[in-house]
Structure 1
Amino acid sequence: MDKLIFHVDVNSAFLSWTAVKMLKEEPGSIDLRTIPSAIGGDVSKRHGVITACSIPAKKQGVRTGEPVMRSLEKCPSLRLFPSDFKTYREYSAKFIDILKKYALAVEQVSIDEAYLDMTGTDEPITKAEKIKEEIYESLGFTVNIGISTIKLLAKMASDFEKPYKVHTLFPEEIKEKMWTLPIEKLHGCGYKTSEKLKNIGVKTIGDAAKLDKALLCSLLGEKSGEYIYESANGRGSDVVSGEREAAKSYSNETTLPTDIRVSTYDKEMPPVIHWLSESVGKRLTKDEAAGYTISVIAKTSSFKRRSKQTTLVEPTNDIKDIESISLILMRELCFGERGLFNENDGIRLVGVGVSNLAENECKQLDIFSYMKEKSAQDEIRLNESKKKEKTDKLDTMLKKINEKYGEGKIKKGG
């Protein structure tokens, strides 16, 4: 029996969940999804980066990952709202609970998307419609669902026309539905890879599928070349795992809509680092994890990818710690000796990560807990020292008495 896999993706998740919460708290208020609106940054100070935006905002040029001020220049009427991770986690959990009612296995791959093993399902399109309608009727937000026999194609299908749609991309549909798409639309094909392929005349996914595999590997490297060849030809994993492995590291990165350069660094880099640090720190805290190593990465407009990291004495998951250290590392990466800006490059992608995780039993102490514990230990040591000093004095006194009056005449407690 062929596998049947659904990929379910929440449409503009952060914005949708904020909109649903507001409509629930203020019935009759305006639906944020119907007006130019966005999530991200410090609303009062109007800085930071956009993490989600409505379709009306997108039509006015607003894009995720760009600075808030740039979005406001494009769309002065843009309504901004802060991130609300507590609400996001609540709606994500309810979303996954509904999916588990329908599937043999549910593999959650991010807060707003999951793969479902629906093998053996009759009339999959009808079932997908039922799932998306239940989510909308029960929770108030929309999803897209992609259907195929492997995860890659299901993911590709769910990215077709949005919002609130069901699409299929079965092997027999690849030529018509996938091969005609621009090469950059292939899931997993980044900007750098797509540019290399375009330089040799590969404009569409179909062009890549028809190339010799060895040629792709020689151009992109063995691993990337093989991935592009296999993916373009519609081959990939069909395993949907219901369990997630414990994370070995936590990271987040974003591709910027325009390059950050020397002249814009102080204005545009801090809000990006803040958003990335907040994302990583909140995930660490949610999983009760902490790490010793903090790292940053940057990719330039000329495709150089550099990183810098530092290892702490104590593990951390504190957002302020991650942010302040990341800002120092990024400044060194850009302005230090052999820094990226010394080569007159712009920064196109920025990332923040925490790794070298502490063992679960080694919970991080905050400074107050540390001082409290240290004070208690010092007090114990002081009491033990005083007790020993008192005992030593008594022993010395008894020794002198016994030497004067005869051994064994007086004993402790006698």
Structure 2
Amino acid sequence: MSERVILHSDMNCFYASVEMLHHPEFAGQPLAVGGDPEARHGIVLTANYIAKRKGVKTGMALWQAKQVCPEIIFVPPRMDLYLRFSKMAREIYSEYTDKIEPYGIDEAWLDVTDSKNLKGSGMTIAREISHRIKYELGVTVSIGVSWNKIYAKLGSDYKKPDAITEFNRSNYKDRIWRLPVSDLLYVGRQTNKKLKKLGIQTIGDLAETDENLLDSYFGKMGIVLWAFANGWDEDPVCKEGYEAPVKSIGNSTTTPRDLETDLDVWIIQMALAESVAARLRKHGFKCKTVEITVRDNGLSSFTRQRHLRHPTNITDEIVTEAFQLFKDSYKWEHPIRSLGIRAADLVLDDIPVQLDLFGNQEKQEKLEKLDRTVDEIRRRFGYFSIQRAAMYQDKVLSHLDAGTHTVHPHSYFHG
């Protein structure tokens, strides 16, 4: 049996790179994606390398980024755009293997073992993928090549941007074992502190530590990390299936006025459900869980969720679940200031579904067809070109264009 060939592909400064493509006027300038640039609140989701060199870091508050880099340009996130680029990258990967495992929206492992005879060595395939991503999508990737997932991930992190690094049997001790132990996947801040107390500074230190000592301090996870440090990772790359590359898509809004009745809530929830469902359909997802967030004008808030009997991307089904969750949870002690809806546990929309004996398949198909018709009309003529009848019962609330609000996906593993 031939040794596995695993790639880990990581799109460099992904959100910022995509934004730079769409904003050529910002070429050569520091740019960060995140938060609400107008209100100057929120955090940096990612920054380009120009901004990073000036001290801007992911997770930094926008005002902090402005302090370290006064000339920085902020742009709001456009998750729909990033999802589209992520999908195009996976289409390129799929020409080399069907064993593709997303790691968030911008990274993926690829098992190209079975492609060697046709496509060449792991390094050859990595170079070809890197070239295609750059010239077909306009962004760069860093790719790690190794015989296991952990070392392949280390390879993509080893040199950035636009680089390819191979860790093989002959060089891994010289190159990997010198790296800080914190570089190893799953070694978080607290684990790193505990390892340092044991005198373990590098991945090599960890690899050569007595496994029984690690077991006594960390339990099973200590043995797992020791095996990872030694390159003994047999975890397979999951074959591309029905899991979505993001965990959830949601939308929330501070309402145009305080909500005081169930009808007020229904109108806003309908607008939010329409926007979330439309994005699910646009990106080929369905959700298995609906979650709501409610905040009253006294600033008390809560979140509730419900698992569905079958995955859906139908507006009526999402808003019905959301409104029932609200009715079951809120007693109208105060008017409501803010509402949110999140579609979670996403799967691809072509997942096989067992027919529900108590459901109405024909009705579902009609509702989905209706939704897609509305999507097309709004795409061509604008959001307000077609509205549901309920929206006309309050002119102030129905004026909310939920389609322009930021939709926040959470990565499958990072969230």
Cα displacement (A) at 1:314: 8.8
| RMSD over equivalenced CA pairs, Å | 3.8
Give unmatched runs, 5+ long, in structure 1.
Answer: 24-28, 253-280, 296-308, 326-352, 373-414
Cα displacement (A) at 1:310: 5.5
Cα displacement (A) at 1:107: 2.5
Partner SS state of residue 63, structure 1: coil
Query: Residue 241 in 1 paired to residue 238 in 2?
Result: yes
Cα displacement (A) at 1:232: 0.8
How many pairs were matched up? 292
Query: Residue 3 in 1 paired to residue 4 in 2?
Result: yes
Partner SS state of residue 214, structure 1: helix
Offset from partner CA, 1:240-267 (integer Å, 9 cap, x none): 22224547x9479xxxxxxxxxxxxxxx
Question: Match of 1:124?
Answer: 122
Cα displacement (A) at 1:124: 2.9
Partner SS state of residue 171, structure 1: coil
Residue 187 of structure 1: which of 178, 185, 188 is its match? 185
Distance change in 2, residues 1:35/1:210 (3 Å): same
Distance change in 2, residues 1:242/1:45 (3 Å): same
Question: Match of 1:229?
Answer: 226
Offset from partner CA, 1:34-66 (integer Å, 9 cap, x none): 321100010111111100101111111111011
Amino acid at match of 1:15: A
TM-score, structure 1 normalization = 0.61
Aligned 8 A contact 2:291 2:306 in 1: no
Aligned 8 A contact 1:293 1:356 in 2: no
Cα displacement (A) at 1:123: 3.6
Distance change in 2, residues 1:251/1:65 (3 Å): farther
- Percent identity between matched residues is 30
Aligned 8 A contact 1:149 1:238 in 2: no
TM-score, structure 2 normalization = 0.61
Query: Residue 103 in 1 paired to residue 97 in 2?
Result: yes
Give unmatched runs, 5+ long, in structure 2.
Answer: 250-275, 294-301, 309-316, 327-341, 348-352, 368-386, 392-415
Distance change in 2, residues 1:355/1:56 (3 Å): closer
Structure 2 distance, partners of 1:215, 1:317, is: 51
Amino acid at match of 2:151: L
Distance change in 2, residues 1:212/1:354 (3 Å): farther
Cα displacement (A) at 1:370: 12
Residue 92 of structure 1: which of 83, 86, 89 is its match? 86
Aligned 8 A contact 1:179 1:205 in 2: yes
Cα displacement (A) at 1:284: 7.2
Distance change in 2, residues 1:39/1:214 (3 Å): same
Cα displacement (A) at 1:96: 1.3
5 Å-filtered alignment, 1:7-406, equals 7-23=8-24, 29-31=25-27, 34-119=28-113, 120-121=116-117, 122-222=120-220, 224-237=221-234, 239-244=236-241, 246=243, 250=247, 287-289=285-287, 291=289, 311-312=304-305
Structure 2 distance, partners of 1:218, 1:79, is: 49
Structure 1 distance, partners of 2:344, 2:97, is: 33
Offset from partner CA, 1:164-194 (integer Å, 9 cap, x none): 0010011332211111011101111111000
Structure 2 distance, partners of 1:139, 1:218, is: 48
Aligned 8 A contact 1:291 1:317 in 2: no
